[in-house]
Chains A and B, each alone.
Chain A
Amino acid sequence: MTQSKGKFPVPSELETIPGTEGWERMYPYQYEFVTDDPERQKYDEETFWFYDGLHYPEPLYPFDTIWDEAWFLALSQYSHRIFSIPPVMGVDHRMKNGYVYISPVPVMDPKEVEARVPAFMERAGYYYENWNELEAKWEEKMKKTIAELEAVEIPGLPVLEEMSVVTEGIGESKGYHLLKAYDDVIDLGIRCWQYHFEFLNLGYAAYVTFMGHCQKIWPDIPLQRITQMISGIDVIMYQPDEELKNLARKAIELGLGDAIKLSPQFDKVREGLEKTDSGKEWLADFEKARYPWFHVSTGTGWYHHDRSWNDDLDVPLSSICTYADKIAAGQTIDRPLEEVRKERDRITQEYRDLIDNDEDRDAFDQLLATAKTVFPYVENHLFYVEHWFHSIFWNKIREVGAIMKEHDFIEDVEDIWLLKRSEIKDALWDLTTAWATGVKARGPKVWPKEIEWRKGVMEKFRAWSPPPALGPVPEVIQEPFTVVLWGVTNDSLANWSEVAAAGEAGNVTSFKGFAGSPGTVEGKARVCRTVKDIGQLLEGEILVAPTTSPSWAPVFVKIQACVTDVGGVMSHAAIVCREYGVPAVVGTGHATKVVKTGQMIRVNGSTGEIEIIG
């Protein structure tokens, strides 16, 4: 591979932050950029790594690394070992100061690439041909996995086992059950992520193919026009938000517009509603909507601290009230579905009409059809995995944390996240064997001290800005995710590093990202670092956020435009903004650092340009 001049640092040039020495033990050992193995160090230095800020805008807690390991395995295995995508193997991972760096791994030998073709054609071909059938199967597998997770019981450890253990000849103790339950939860998590990638690589490959075809015919076509042609409209990612709207409508219908606004706390509102029949009726609907639709994370679902609506009912309540106010004020809260659909069809037809030969038109039709078939999965899997499954998963681990706290292994349930999942397993062995034996476990003297130190390390990690990329930039990237999902191109990397350099001087007046959704507007910026900040957002402001997720949905009816740090044209913010007809610029790298709340900014969602005008 020919390489352009490296403009990013190599791993060995990155500092270890004073006071964090030894941080590497918080993460899997293979994630380390090493210095004690010359061969591996050479590989690390000669490889192009980019910071996965899309998934990890913050440093990773040791436990949360589970999903990184899960997709490290799953994405790579599907590309390399299952579908044999000819020129790419997997995506390699490293960590520095708590941040994840990844690198698509190409197949270097052209002969080997060629040799991989027949298997790819047969295997990927089978999936594309039987897509709908296989996808229906997927949904069943996924629902079963979630049901199994919900059924896992995390048992406490009794002083004396129940009599039934004896009378029914069970032959197993609660100590063993605790160890097994923990293993089961972890195993289900890994399994769920196996499914996560079953269709995703091929989905992106079909998308990239359609994109490539369009770009060859129309070199100047904006990416967002391409995605607009294939975007799903009735995808389940919008369902949680639809449920909130329905509840808002129902509240108005039942004359409960004021009752639901009694307090920002759901418990108080519930108390009030339980006193009337109409209130009870509404609460029944509310309960029905919760499963599964409130299993939606307030963040991306990748972090344990992204609590779900079910964990904090004040969050959906606040959105329901926002919608109810809009209805009461005579405004519409419906997504303009018909218009979006019509506009999509018009754009598709107009581009199609511009093709001047049959061969290209036929290919356009075929590839568009395939892209449209695969696309719902690309959007829908998020709800099943990152939201529904994860929401339940984090709480199961909290139950384990509660037992560890009870046995003085940790001081607070939330301390469990500072341990790696293998360390938790070790600690549970310590805990159960000591419980079984009736002796003091070693853990209470080991873990609280270590956790205290790790909390300090995490603080220091948070204050560190990870460079957007490391090492030399390759000229061509074949890995379908890298470009589409992370939006990694020379341009975007150059923009990121430019802003990073200028941002420190505090004198950035304009910067660029990906044109995510068309249109130009000027307005006041509102920087929201997490979904908790969206309450402060005023009608007509421009949202500036690290990234968005389905639980941010209620802001899209309020805002004039949206700007994110991370994400390509397929990211959540870009997709939703196109749906709502709101301009968006995504993947700017550093918008939340550069823009301050209250500043006037101009957002051009057609070109990706952002200007700070005052």
Chain B
Amino acid sequence: MTGHRPLVCRFDDCNKESIALVGGKCASLGELIRADVRVPPGFAVTTAAYQQFIEDAGLFETIYTKLDNLAADDIAGQEKASETIRTLIEDSAFSIQLEDDIAEHYRRLSNHCNRPALPVAVRSSATAEDLPNASFAGQQDTFLWIRGIDDILSNTKKCFSSLFTARAIAYRIRNNFQHRDVAISVGIQKMANSFAAGVMFTLNPTTGDRSMILINSSFGFGEAVVSGEVTPDVFMVNKVSLDTVERTITRKEVAYVVDAETHSSILTELPPERQRVQSIIDEDITELARMGKAIEKHYGRPMDIEWAIDNNLPTGSNIFILQARPETVWANKRSAPVSGGAKNTMEHILSAVMTGVRTS
């Protein structure tokens, strides 16, 4: 046991203070729940669990001695160490205690969702300093449509081992992070069976206008939007009035949907009559924008949000937020005040009449 640090922690009990324990992704889901935002339920296998796993398997010294003397430019050496370490991790077994703890949480989650062997997403949740950035880690180690405790455990180990990809190793060497200090958490989360999904920015990414919300949406799972395999519908919503001020309905040729037999997501072609249909109804656009506004308010800054609309639940309770992170492009650009140095009302008025209004 690692003192009082829990090995498994429900998302409801995560918050922004618990990044060291559950990683950024799970902490953020906990924060969303605290902001009264609907997220698919789940739990985190914590960094304490990771550390105990490594200890129980007797891997600690084996791993770190392999890494200690690697040079920053020894690419081949890094590749080889990565391969060895990842195999070691993936081939080791969980302790009975840890396995039971994870299995019990999974059983409860399945019960809660009324589905035996509930399909879940298993994804790594890095603690901020360990890996270059969330998207770097996230691309490699998200496993979707996982069912049953055995598959969950093996994929959890795959997430653990993602801490030792050649790229992650190289990054730590370059940036002088200690291999011994790093840890990783893994989130186990109900798969949203999405009818439609996409992303949302709580500003206009083109102009940086914070009074607008941009929603991208397409049929099926969000992968199609995130990976760029479809051109999504675009809705521009006024954040203050929640009016949809602009909508572009595109031709959406494909969608990721769940395959009934394999319980995994597959890319299918949409029937022609559905391709040009608006992917979400107007009420959902408004509701999404309302949620985006609440999330932004909770975090106090513009956000980049992944969302999905569940196929099985009725309108009004079927929108889920999968992920929310601070918007970075405009946050870094945000610069000088627009007032341009005018000190009082008259100077503002003077500057306005001098500038005039462009006719185009």
Query: Residues of A at under 8 Å CB distance from B?
Result: 4, 85-88, 113, 117, 120-121, 124-125, 128, 205-206, 208-209, 212-213, 216-222, 225, 347, 350-351, 354, 356-357, 359-360, 362-363, 366-367, 370, 473-480, 483, 488-491, 493, 518-519, 606-607
Q: Who on chain A is nearest to B340 by CB? A: A216
How far, in Å, is A342 (CB) from chain B's closest CB? 14
Find out whether the CB atom of B357 lies under 8 angstroms from the CB atom of A483.
yes
6 closest A-B pairs by beta carbon, nearest first, are A478-B356, A490-B360, A209-B352, A216-B338, A359-B337, A218-B211
Find out whether the CB atom of B339 lies under 8 angstroms from the CB atom of A359.
yes
How far, in Å, is A569 (CB) from chain B's closest CB? 13
Find out whether the CB atom of B352 lies under 8 angstroms from the CB atom of A366.
no
Find out whether the CB atom of B241 lies under 8 angstroms from the CB atom of A128.
no
Which of the listed residues B207, B211, B334, B354 has the most CB atoms from chain A within 10 Å of its own CB? B211
Complex Cα–Cα for A491 and B360 (A): 6
- The residue that A128 contacts in the complex, of B211, B243, B337, B345, with Cβ under 8 A, is B345
- The residue that B353 contacts in the complex, of A88, A125, A360, with Cβ under 8 A, is A88
Which of the listed residues A117, A212, A476 has the most CB atoms from chain B within 10 Å of its own CB? A212
Which of the listed residues A208, A363, A607 has the most CB atoms from chain B within 10 Å of its own CB? A363
Find out whether the CB atom of A124 lies under 8 angstroms from the CB atom of B348.
no
By a CB distance below 8 angstroms, the chain B residues around A88 are 353
Find out whether the CB atom of A220 lies under 8 angstroms from the CB atom of B339.
no
Q: Provided the pairs A86-B353, A86-B354, A128-B346 are in contact, do residues A222 and B339 lie with their beta carbons within 8 angstroms?
A: no
Q: Who on chain B is nearest to A357 by CB? A: B337
| B residues 120-179 in Cβ contact with A at 8 Å | none
Q: Provided the pairs A121-B350, A347-B240 are in contact, do residues A220 and B245 lie with their beta carbons within 8 angstroms?
A: yes
Find out whether the CB atom of A490 lies under 8 angstroms from the CB atom of B359.
yes
Q: Who on chain B is nearest to A212 by CB? A: B352
Count A-B pairs with CB separation below 8 Å: 137
By a CB distance below 8 angstroms, the chain A residues around B354 are 86-87, 113, 478
Q: Who on chain B is nearest to A348 by CB? A: B240
Q: Provided the pairs A121-B346, A124-B349 are in contact, do residues A212 and B334 lie with their beta carbons within 8 angstroms?
A: no
By a CB distance below 8 angstroms, the chain B residues around A117 are 350
Find out whether the CB atom of B338 lies under 8 angstroms from the CB atom of A213.
yes
Find out whether the CB atom of B353 lies under 8 angstroms from the CB atom of A478.
yes
| B236 on the A face (CB < 8 A) | yes
Complex Cα–Cα for A128 and B345 (A): 9
Complex Cα–Cα for A38 and B90 (A): 92
By a CB distance below 8 angstroms, the chain B residues around A474 are 359
Find out whether the CB atom of A489 lies under 8 angstroms from the CB atom of B346.
no
Which of the listed residues B209, B246, B338 has the most CB atoms from chain A within 10 Å of its own CB? B338
Extra contacts, 17 of them, besides A363-B348, A366-B345, A606-B238 (Cβ < 8 A), are A87-B353, A87-B354, A128-B346, A205-B352, A220-B236, A225-B240, A354-B239, A357-B337, A360-B338, A367-B348, A370-B349, A476-B358, A479-B356, A489-B358, A491-B360, A493-B359, A519-B243
How far, in Å, is A276 (CB) from chain B's closest CB? 51
By a CB distance below 8 angstroms, the chain A residues around B353 are 85-88, 120, 205, 208-209, 478, 480
Give the contact-size bracket for chain B.
35 or more
- A interface footprint on B212-244 (CB within 8 Å = 1, 0 otherwise): 100000000000000000000000101111011
| B2 on the A face (CB < 8 A) | no
| B204 on the A face (CB < 8 A) | yes
- The residue that B210 contacts in the complex, of A218, A473, A488, A490, with Cβ under 8 A, is A218
Find out whether the CB atom of A220 lies under 8 angstroms from the CB atom of B357.
no
Find out whether the CB atom of B211 lies under 8 angstroms from the CB atom of A351.
yes
- The residue that B348 contacts in the complex, of A213, A350, A473, A491, with Cβ under 8 A, is A213
| B344 on the A face (CB < 8 A) | yes
Q: Who on chain A is nearest to B339 by CB? A: A363
By a CB distance below 8 angstroms, the chain B residues around A491 are 360
Find out whether the CB atom of A124 lies under 8 angstroms from the CB atom of B209.
no
Q: Who on chain B is nearest to A122 by CB? A: B346
Q: Who on chain B is nearest to A492 by CB? A: B359
Find out whether the CB atom of A473 lies under 8 angstroms from the CB atom of B359.
yes
Complex Cα–Cα for A428 and B352 (A): 49
A-B contact pairs, 20 of them (CB 8 A): A85-B353, A86-B353, A120-B350, A124-B349, A205-B353, A208-B357, A213-B339, A218-B211, A220-B209, A220-B212, A357-B337, A366-B345, A367-B348, A476-B356, A476-B358, A477-B359, A489-B357, A489-B360, A518-B243, A606-B243
Find out whether the CB atom of A217 lies under 8 angstroms from the CB atom of B338.
yes
By a CB distance below 8 angstroms, the chain A residues around B243 are 518-519, 606
Find out whether the CB atom of B245 lies under 8 angstroms from the CB atom of A212.
no
Find out whether the CB atom of A366 lies under 8 angstroms from the CB atom of B344.
yes
Find out whether the CB atom of A219 lies under 8 angstroms from the CB atom of B338.
no
